[in-house]
Amino acid sequence: MNAVLLAVVVMLVLSLLRVHVVMALIIGSLVGGISAGMSLEETLYIFSDGLGGGATIALNYAILGAFAVAISRTSLPNSLVNLVIKLVGNQSDSRRKVLSKALIFLFILVMACFSQNLIPIHIAFIPILIPPIINILNELEVDRRAIASILTFGLIAPYMLLPYGFGNVFHRIVVENIGQNGLDVSMSQVTPAMVIPVFGMVIGLFIAVLFSYRKSRSYEQKELQGVSTKVDKEKSGQQKVWSIIGASLAIFITLLVQTYSESMIMAGLAGIIVLYLTRALKWNGSDQVLTDGMKMMAFISFVMISAAGFSEVIRETGHVDLLVEQVLAVVGESQGTTALLMLLVGLILTLGIGSAFSTVPILATIFVPIGMAVGFSPVAIIALIGTAGALGDAGAPASDSTLGPTAGLNADGQHNHIWDTCVPTFLHYNIPLIIFGWIAAMIL
């Protein structure tokens, strides 16, 4: 059996059996290396040597996690929540009720999108902003599956399309891994390649909000967990204002530094320094704040580092070219069949791993040679790898794009992770991504 295919299957099966994904990647690497004829020592050496490829991305996540938690300790998040609650109020008539829903949906969508690009705090904003408005959602009888769909869209589509914040990280992973597998592409090509697949997600979002989960759904008013106003209670009115100013300035500086340096590490550090200088983040106890943020992103960081080692072993087996020949023997030179097969493989892999960022290095190792062999353009290959990586990020039980929404919406224990987050997001985003990702590959 092909060593690359065997390694991927072992890794995927172990992941689906709930073996920790880092362990699954290590075991898959060993199986792949040994089945290709390498010794255990040689396989371990190659795996270890490849770990450095994910170190920069992992540090990006650690710094961004620290920045996210630091922002959460300022008065800015609670102020945004309070503003929405004041704007919505208690609306009794149907027309104002509809307008209130639209306002909340728009607010959540904007914050989710900002969390990936403009204010790169990822899922950290969800437990800060969502639980305080749960009671308002209950009064308006909002189906939380619609909110889960909005949040997941905002956590995925922006990083696929825009080269800022986590989008910069994702685009760089795509470009670097494609380059390592023999095809020169540039960062400027990623956004055009992702427009059509992201448009598919937009359609899925509209279907979820306007049709699938448009009807009212009743929830009990229960005591919420995870809603904290400790930060605001400890501060006077003047301190709150200054805290908001400091946080806003930090966000602006982060965006500015990121734009000109193209480094999320420098941008995150700059934002944290501004929080210190403006006293929006107090020096006393700040070590714990930053440590908590790094812990929040530690899982993703370790998965990406392990995935880099896994992909290095796969490349060194020498079976990638053999796999390409085997695939071509099955699909022939049909670009349509090949594109569909690539996307389905991406879906399965990402469902197993739970992270698009960690899946791309694995996909690029296999997809670049196959794509070049059947004559796909570089932009089409980018579209296939980017889309295949994102496939499964929605709907995967272990994905932060589904775990984050559930963490916020289940503050009162009335939101099921699988049936209220994973299944709705899988249906409304993965199916459109396969369709529009295939279209992108065929026309680009």
pLDDT at 32: 87
393 is a domain residue: yes
pLDDT at 442: 93
221 is a domain residue: no
pTM over the 0.85 mark: no
428 is a domain residue: yes
159 is a domain residue: yes
222 is a domain residue: no
pLDDT at 262: 65
296 is a domain residue: yes
What domain range is 354 assigned to? 3-215+229-443
Domain count along the chain = 1
363 is a domain residue: yes
pLDDT at 148: 93
pLDDT at 89: 60
Mean pLDDT in order along the chain per 10 residues (444 residues): 79 74 84 88 86 72 74 72 66 67 88 81 73 81 91 92 86 90 89 95 94 87 56 58 82 77 77 83 72 70 76 78 70 82 78 72 84 89 90 76 82 83 90 94 91
220 is a domain residue: no
Report how far residue 272's alpha carbon sits from residue 409's, in angstroms, rounded to the nearest whole number.
29
Give the length of the chain.
444
